[in-house]
Structure 1
Amino acid sequence: MQLYNNLSAKERAALIKEAGQERLTISFYKYAQIGNPQLFRNHLFIHWNELEVLGRIYVAHEGINAQLSVPAENFEAFKKHLDSITFLENVRLNIAIEQDNLSFLKLKIKVRKKILADGLNDSTFDVTNKGVHVGAEKFNELIEDPNTILVDMRNHYESEIGHFKNAITPDVDTFRDSLDIIEKDLADYKEDKKLVMYCTGGIRCEKASAYYKHKGFKQVYQLEGGIIDYARQVEEKKLENKFLGKNFVFDHRRSERITDDVIANCHQCGKPCDTHVNCANEACHLLFIQCEECAKKMDDCCSDKCKEIHALPYEEQKKLRKGKGASNKIFKKGRSEVLKFKR
């Protein structure tokens, strides 16, 4: 019985290209009580591996958070399996606007303490007392209300390439960093302002809305389905699109374009650009924004030092990396002194 990947990303990519089948990139989440996350994880892997599902899925006692891709021809079978799981029946699926057959190259289903690293002690407040969920039309009305405060619950590198007009975009590295900062900055508005939040697909707002209600905010709203579903709704209903730029996503695509606005700048030369890349030096792997001209000039690297290392024979690069752990502190997203034009 196979419970883990047996193909490398390179091997999987070759198979996908050879098959020539269209794949759908999908995300969904659901808070629910799961008694045995490991058993549930194995159940998902067995069934989804047969359907050629690939992606990054987190399972915990509190629920599931999934980002994945599935062959289009297997979508109905995948949906049928989801509906066979009581708490996932008719779960909202956010289907990507821009498809890429190589968005995910492995099926990784991991058991975690939480499906979202929020740093909160859930036993200290009622996580089910959430804010009011609103669709795109109501959201557009709310954010035009002068009595509304609109807050982006994502990180700095996400909002840098795209956000809603007039939104507060906290300069934070992680979701957990943003919670207390936002509460402190908006402390004077708890009684009389409407707090409206949004994120990529909705999961961050799901927990944050309950947290802010616990902290005394009287009028709390959240965008149902996040930016992903908002983009779908404005297209289907012919609504005014109040989002600017790209929506950052956590797969090989890195982003999907919502509007033609380019609101960011190349971190190396400063020209308008909103293309995220990772530094080609594997020992660095820094996420940053780089235009085509700088990519060519810098050999896809973030600095001259990384360019020199990247030019070395592969075995020499491996020697330089030996003994250095790959942690989040090393792979810092969009923060480095070498990025002269990072805002």
Structure 2
Amino acid sequence: MEKYQTLLYYCYSPIENAEEFAAEHLAFCKSLNLVGRIIVADEGLNGTVSGTVESCKQYMASIHADERFAKTDFKIDDVEEPSFIKMHCRYKSEIVHSGLRNPDLIDPNKETGIHLEPKDFLEMKDQEDVVVLDVRSNYEHNLGRFKNAVTLDIENFRDFPAKINELAQYKDKKILTYCTGGIKCEKASALLLKEGFKEVYQLHGGIIKYGKEAEGKDFEGQCYVFDNRVAVDVNRVNPTVISTCRNCGTKTNKMINCANPECNEHFTQCDACGEQLEGCCSAACQTHPLKREYDGTGYYVKIPQPVNTKKRILTES
């Protein structure tokens, strides 16, 4: 039995005094010796936390005991070690940045796509009148995506609204949206409905839940996750590797950050090129005077920056 777990979750539910709640919630998480990253906004919670099995059990029980978050669906992974180094809980304007000038135009609690459980998504995804739509960023779907999925050239989810016009050709189709854990689909599907798409669905629990309940069939590559693991396997039926090394083109699932901190580009690179370029995306970055030492992982702990007093309340020093 594994000693640790990592929990991925979100909940769209109004929070009064959300900034104050964030500070209190950070203290609560620390009391359980959890590590992770949580975003708190007036519209709800979005988090990934990691800790001992008992700590995670207590955390989930506390969240479910709060009537505001009783419907929260936790995706649970057993891990050999905690998936973060520190605990952060920050207040932001949205738990997922929509890119809208007026975020209140959409409310996932009022209108969103029809939720499909993994087994139902599996049954529908290959039908003739269906389009499977990946609403994640480039670096995510380049690492792994559903077979034959439509992808968008976006660097962040906030770019999604500007790309909806490119999907107009699919307005008469059934749109099945998916993302890592389901949270982006709540807003993506709501936006599609507002733009006149008639039948919009979303994969409930995202890729992570699909991997657990449908064995990840036809998900090609790996799923990018926002913690120290970087990527996780999903497909236990017909797995494959689709991502390639930026430098030599060989197939690899290894994703790193450029060792040049002023570049810090997120990209896939094989071990051979990583050794040759010392974890840099190019020879130019390799000669940069601030280049970080490459230890083979391509993961770098952020150097703490000066913060104001208000910010210091919400983050671990």
Question: Normalization by structure 2: what TM-score?
Answer: 0.85
Q: Alpha carbon RMSD of aligned pairs, Å?
A: 2.1
Q: Does 1:269 align with 2:251?
A: no
Q: Where do 1:139-288 residues align within 5 Å?
A: 139-181=121-163, 183-190=164-171, 192-235=172-215, 241-259=217-235, 260-288=239-267
Larger Rg: 1
What's the CA shift for 1:166?
0.8
1:268-303: CA deviation from partner (whole Å, max 9, x where unpaired): 111111210112233332211110111111112222
Distance 1:197 1:313 in 2: 38
Q: Which position in structure 1 is the counterpart of 2:301? A: none
Q: Which amino acid aligns with 2:55?
A: N
- SS where residue 160 of structure 1 aligns? helix
Q: Which position in structure 2 is the counterpart of 1:96? A: 77
Q: Does 1:137 align with 2:119?
A: yes
Q: Does 1:59 align with 2:43?
A: no
Q: Which amino acid aligns with 1:271?
A: T
What's the CA shift for 1:22?
2.6
What's the CA shift for 1:175?
0.9
Q: Which amino acid aligns with 2:263?
A: C
Q: Which position in structure 2 is the counterpart of 1:83? A: 64
Runs of 4+ in 1 over 4 A off after TM superposition: 310-314
Q: 1:311/1:142 Cα in 2 relative to 1: closer, same or farther (>3 Å)?
A: same
- SS where residue 57 of structure 1 aligns? strand
Q: Which position in structure 1 is the counterpart of 2:287? A: 308
Distance 1:100 1:112 in 2: 31
Q: Where do 5+ consecutive residues of structure 1 fail to align?
A: 1-20, 315-325, 327-343
1:191-244: CA deviation from partner (whole Å, max 9, x where unpaired): x31011000000000111111111111101000000000001013xxxx71211
**Conserved 8 A contact 2:98-2:157:** yes
Q: Which moved more, 1:257-266 or 1:287-296?
A: 257-266
Q: Which amino acid aligns with 1:171?
A: D
Q: 1:227/1:313 Cα in 2 relative to 1: closer, same or farther (>3 Å)?
A: closer
Distance 2:291 2:8 in 1: 39
**Conserved 8 A contact 2:177-2:202:** yes
**Conserved 8 A contact 1:280-1:310:** no
Q: 1:310/1:296 Cα in 2 relative to 1: closer, same or farther (>3 Å)?
A: farther
Distance 1:272 1:209 in 2: 33
Q: Which amino acid aligns with 1:135?
A: E
**Conserved 8 A contact 2:160-2:188:** no
Q: Which amino acid aligns with 2:123?
A: E
Distance 1:38 1:295 in 2: 41
Match of residue 10, structure 2, among 16, 29, 41: 29
Once the two structures are aligned, what percentage of the paired residues are identical?
35
Q: Which amino acid aligns with 2:282?
A: S
- SS where residue 131 of structure 2 aligns? strand
What's the CA shift for 1:246?
0.1
Q: 1:189/1:304 Cα in 2 relative to 1: closer, same or farther (>3 Å)?
A: closer
Q: 1:311/1:221 Cα in 2 relative to 1: closer, same or farther (>3 Å)?
A: closer
What's the CA shift for 1:186?
2.3
1:284-334: CA deviation from partner (whole Å, max 9, x where unpaired): 3221111011111111222223222369799xxxxxxxxxxx9xxxxxxxx
**Conserved 8 A contact 1:25-1:100:** no
**Conserved 8 A contact 1:23-1:100:** yes
**Conserved 8 A contact 1:152-1:170:** yes
What's the CA shift for 1:131?
1.0
Q: Which position in structure 2 is the counterpart of 1:341? A: none
Question: Normalization by structure 1: what TM-score?
Answer: 0.79
What's the CA shift for 1:125?
4.5
What's the CA shift for 1:90?
4.8
What's the CA shift for 1:46?
1.9
Q: 1:143/1:48 Cα in 2 relative to 1: closer, same or farther (>3 Å)?
A: same
1:155-195: CA deviation from partner (whole Å, max 9, x where unpaired): 111001110011001121111212331x21222432x3101
